[in-house]
Amino acid sequence: MAVASMQPTQFDLVYDVLSFSLATMMATTIFLWTRVGSVAEKYKSALIISGLVTFIAAYHYIRIFNSWVEAYAWDNGALTATGIPFNDAYRYMDWLLTVPLLLIEIVLVMKLSPEETSRQGMSLGVSSALMIILGYPGELVLDESNLGMRWIYWAAAMIPFLYIVKTLLTGLAEATDSEEDPAIRGLVKRAQVWTVVSWCTYPFVYILPMFGVSGANAVVGIQLGYSISDIISKCGVGLCIYQITIAKSAALKNGGGSYGSA
């Protein structure tokens, strides 16, 4: 991504948000992985994958943060571009790995048969990867004279996006409603809704440049929007998965149980 002329306050804002996002990802990873021993064996995979999602994200936030710092330098109290492009492609490399895993961790804690778990995991994983691949070329388009191409890639990526949202809210509704324990059922629904709500912010952040937000304002808006969405969808949903695994482990210990993988 070409470096736009940046005000010191704008630079500091993105700097602080990227730093906060990195710390949040690292803290969530440590918490989730240290709690793996507290859940039943059948739910450990979901918790490990949840921690893997935030671990991968933490690594990429280190790279994004370093790239942001390298793109600018202070010269006699003034902020100037170094000429080194800010590499925002790290986000898409991160999403290509973490988004399928995020969906798989949700599927793993649902009341599905092993066959249905495998089918839904594959379907959602492939759809999410396709969504990321289709959206990435448009992310590179910030030239106001060529924003029509950004719309095209946005529309293409929205097709698998809408399929995933529909699957989470309605396609898996029967499995969610089949949970006997209302508390567990509520936790599963919360994980699904949090995922959808956080994901709905991504398409809006993507189209900021198409609504007159340009230059440094577009760069700052995109970085803030994506970072906040990442924290909710990765850390927030990861903690929801933790609550589900703890609740289901307790039910299993007390003589309860669920069909299939959860």
Phi and psi at residue 224, to the nearest 5°: -65, -45
pTM for the model stands at 0.90
Q: Mean pLDDT across the stretch 68-92?
A: 88
**How far apart are the C-alpha atoms of 258 and 262, rounded to whole Å?**
5
Confidence at residue 143, expressed as pLDDT on a 0 to 100 scale: 74
β-partners of residue 79 are 74
Confidence at residue 259, expressed as pLDDT on a 0 to 100 scale: 41
Listed in sequence order, the residues at least 6 apart from 101 whose beta carbon sits closer than 8 Å to its beta carbon are 49, 52, 53, 56
72-75/78-81 β-pairing: antiparallel
**How far apart are the C-alpha atoms of 205 and 211, rounded to whole Å?**
10
10-31: pLDDT as tens digits: 999 999 999 999 999 999 999 9
Mean residue pLDDT of the chain comes to: 89
Most confident of 51-65, 79-93, 143-157, 240-254: 51-65
106-132: pLDDT as tens digits: 999 988 888 998 999 999 999 999 999
Q: What Å distances lie between residue 160 and 80, 126, 155, CA to CA?
A: 40, 9, 10
- Work out whether the CA dihedral 7, 8, 10, 15 comes out positive or negative: positive
Q: What Å distances lie between residue 235 and 45, 73, 170, 177, 198, CA to CA?
A: 17, 32, 24, 25, 11
**How far apart are the C-alpha atoms of 40 and 246, rounded to whole Å?**
8
Confidence at residue 258, expressed as pLDDT on a 0 to 100 scale: 47
Confidence at residue 31, expressed as pLDDT on a 0 to 100 scale: 97
DSSP letter for 78, please. E
Q: Mean pLDDT across the stretch 90-96?
A: 92
Confidence at residue 254, expressed as pLDDT on a 0 to 100 scale: 80
